[in-house]
Every structure is written in C-alpha cells, then in structure tokens.
C-alpha cells in the first residue's frame, strides 16, 4: 500500500492527518484514538480489528475529496 499525504490541520506535525491509498483511492485517517468506554459503546458494529479516531471537522471540510 502506498500512501499519499493529503493534508493536516496540525501545526506541530502530529495528528490529525488525511492520506489517500494510491492504489485504491481509499482514505486513511490519522487521529487521536477514541478510548472513552461510554463513547465507544455508542458505535455500531465495531469489528474486533477496527478502531476509532476523533477527527476535527475542519480537517475534513478543508482536505477531504469532494468527489
């Protein structure tokens, strides 16, 4: 898998960041892990291998593909 950097709203090189998988066009999201049990319990059908990250709205509205 080859990742192409799309953009970040971080000023210090940390998350959050968006990447595109070059081969498929899928989007990879880097962000803070959602770890609060109460919040996790509200997610639907979270698979054993899946995780959840918190992404600021500004990152998606500024950099997410529009197509």
Residue 61 has pLDDT above 90, yes or no: no
Residue 9: the pLDDT is: 87
What is the residue range of 59's domain?
3-63
Order of strands, sheet of 27-30, starting from the edge strand that comes earlier in the sequence: 3-8, 17-21, 27-30
Percentage of the chain lying above the pLDDT 90 cut: 46
What whole-number distance in Å separates Cα of residue 45 and Cα of residue 26? 20
Report, as an integer, the average pLDDT of 41-51.
90
What is the number of domains present in the chain?
Answer: 1
Residues whose CB falls within 8 Å of the CB of residue 29, separated by 6 or more in sequence, listed in order: 16, 17, 18, 19, 53, 55
């Amino acid at each position: 898998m080859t990742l192409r950097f799309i953009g970040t709203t971080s000023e210090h090189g940390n998350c959050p960041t968006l990447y595109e998988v070059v081969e498929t066009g899928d989007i990879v999201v880097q962000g803070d892990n959602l770890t609060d049990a109460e919040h996790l319990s509200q997610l639907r059908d979270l698979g054993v291998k899946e995780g959840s990250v918190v992404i600021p709205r500004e990152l998606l509205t500024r950099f997410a593909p529009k197509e």
